[in-house]
Structure 1
Amino acid sequence: MSTMIGGIDRRSAAPMYDQLRQLIVDSIEQDGLQPGDPLPGEHRLCEQYGVSRTVVRQALAQLEHEGLVERVKGKGTFVARPRTSESLVHTLVGLFEEVERRGGHVRSEILRHETVPADAEVADALELAEGDPVVVITRLRHVDGDAWSLSTTWMPQAVGAVTFGADLRETSLYRLLAEHGIAATHGVRSAEATVATHEQAGLLGVSAGSALLRLRSVSREESGRPIEFFVAYHRGDRSRFEFQLGPDSSQGSLVRIP
């Protein structure tokens, strides 16, 4: 009697869930499935490969952890959309440039674009007096059609003035500023874990309390003048932040959160 059932080798030292995981990956590639395409349900996978539901769920959990599939409660399992591999923490690039680099497309929905008085936090970040005019832009960013991040950017009025009249839906803010001779050369950027509020969840298409990554950044010109302060919330299931590591750790620090 054969020990191979539906592609699962019961004599193999490899766990059955790991074998099933690889069989599902192979099936996705062979069938040419694209992000968003559905996969067979748990019951169908049990029948097709002759394994228990526990094995199926272990395999799917591993694939979900690796970002290869996504499971939607009440709907099923689907081929996952690739996560952006973002170097936004340690480089002076924006989401537009990072996604463009890998051949993707960013579209921004402009939720707010106006001049307002700087509150205490914004004034401190931009080294202005509280109440000084700043230009604020809030954007809901979509990557390849999916809601990805919610960001709010504040700029001194002299800097932000160049954004009025520009179509920021399909334009890189950094590129627009550079065209007007305003370029960031250094700054400080931090990343921390948080959870989505009801308002953020509604805009980003996730459940309230879902994991988000919060970026906070201040960028400066070569002269040292702050030109931009932003706070951005990225969907935890869509983004992966990468850090370049080296023997010199002087470029980073561990900040204690009270």
Structure 2
Amino acid sequence: MTASDAPLPRFHQVRLVLRERLKTGVYERGLPLPGERQLAEEFGVARVTIRSALARLEEEGLVVRLRGKGTLPATQAEPPKHLRLRGGLLDNIVNMGLRTRVTVLERRLLPAPSHAAEALRVAPGSRVLKVVRVRKFKGQPIAYTEVFLPADLAEAVDKPTLQDVPMLVALEQHGVQVESAEQTLGAALADLPVAEALRVPPGTPLLRVARVAFDRDGRPVQFLTGLYHPTRYEYHMQLSRVGGATKVWIENDRPPEAAG
């Protein structure tokens, strides 16, 4: 028996069936997929097999797994209706977060480093929450982010929440009305931890984004520094005298009309 004759692993068989159902619209619009238990009974496999299949589909960008809502086809996943971030770059960042998968590398309270204290307008050494994450799209790492938040917002972004929803959405769900942000773009070289996370050689030039988000009272509620893969992530801006859209693209994820 050759390698090509060997039977596919069970999780891969399940993945292929679910993948076909997603692409042909078998699952009704606006409804989550059947639960893990129901799928396990249907396919005659263990729930861990179903979880593996769903994880692969999520890496492909075909489904989004939302805490408390189950697994939804990716095109149906939307930010909560009460979310105030409508239009423009902030809304685009939220939507991008729903299409990607996050691994939390670090989450802890600590004394604020000077740069974080300045950005959040707190006294140096004040307690802040630090979160380090790697974001992936279709199984490939696209971003390494380091985020600081005021300590009183720590409960809004526990680890399970961070792995299920974008941080700006989690803050909104906690009652923080994020209204605006200030952002700067620059360049940085990948150090060893970042290079390992993004799977690039150390010293690779990366896009660096620094962003401070403010609530409706003008209070800084999030300070993010993101390092982005040089070939999988880009900013696309339309400039005019009356303003225009600013969008974030991931690899070839842009809509057909934007690709030309």
Normalised by the length of structure 2, the TM-score is 0.57
Query: Displacement of 1:120 after TM fit?
Result: 1.0
Structure 2 distance, partners of 1:131, 1:195, is: 27
Tell me the residue number matched to 2:165: 171
Give the one of 232, 236, 247 matched to 1:242. 236
Among 103, 108, 112, the alignment partner of 1:109 is 103
Q: What is the CA distance between 1:165 and its match in structure 2?
A: 5.7
Q: Deviations over 1:62-95 (max 9, x none)?
A: xxxxxxxxxxxxxxxxxxx9xxxxxxxx722474
Distance in 2 of aligned mates of 1:93 and 1:130: 31
* Match of residue 199 from structure 2: 205
Provide the residue aligned with 1:227 in structure 2.
221
The equivalences for 1:79-228 within 5 A come to: 91-93=89-91, 95=93, 97-98=95-96, 100=98, 105-164=99-158, 166-228=160-222
Offset, 1:131: 1.0
1:37 maps to which residue? none
* Bigger helix fraction: 2
Distance 1:107 1:242 in 2: 22
Cα distance change on mapping 1:201 and 1:127 into 2, 3 Å: same
For 2:55, the equivalent position in structure 1 comes to none
> Judging changes above 3 Å, is the alpha-carbon distance between structure 1 residues 220 and 96 closer, same or farther for their aligned structure 2 residues?
closer
Deviation, structure 1 residue 96: 5.0
Q: Aligned partners of 1:96 and 1:248: how far apart in 2?
A: 24
How many matched pairs? 161
Q: Which runs of 5+ in 1 are unaligned?
A: 1-80, 82-89, 250-258
Q: Is the 8 A contact 1:135 1:161 kept in 2?
A: no
Structure 1 residue runs of 4 or more that deviate by more than 3 Å after TM superposition: 93-96
Decide which structure has the larger Cα Rg and report it. 1
Measured on the aligned residues, the alpha-carbon RMSD in Å equals 2.7
Q: For 2:195 and 2:159, how far apart are their aligned partners in 1? A: 30
| TM-score for the superposition, normalised by structure 1 | 0.57
User: How high is the sequence identity, in percent, across the aligned residues?
Assistant: 23
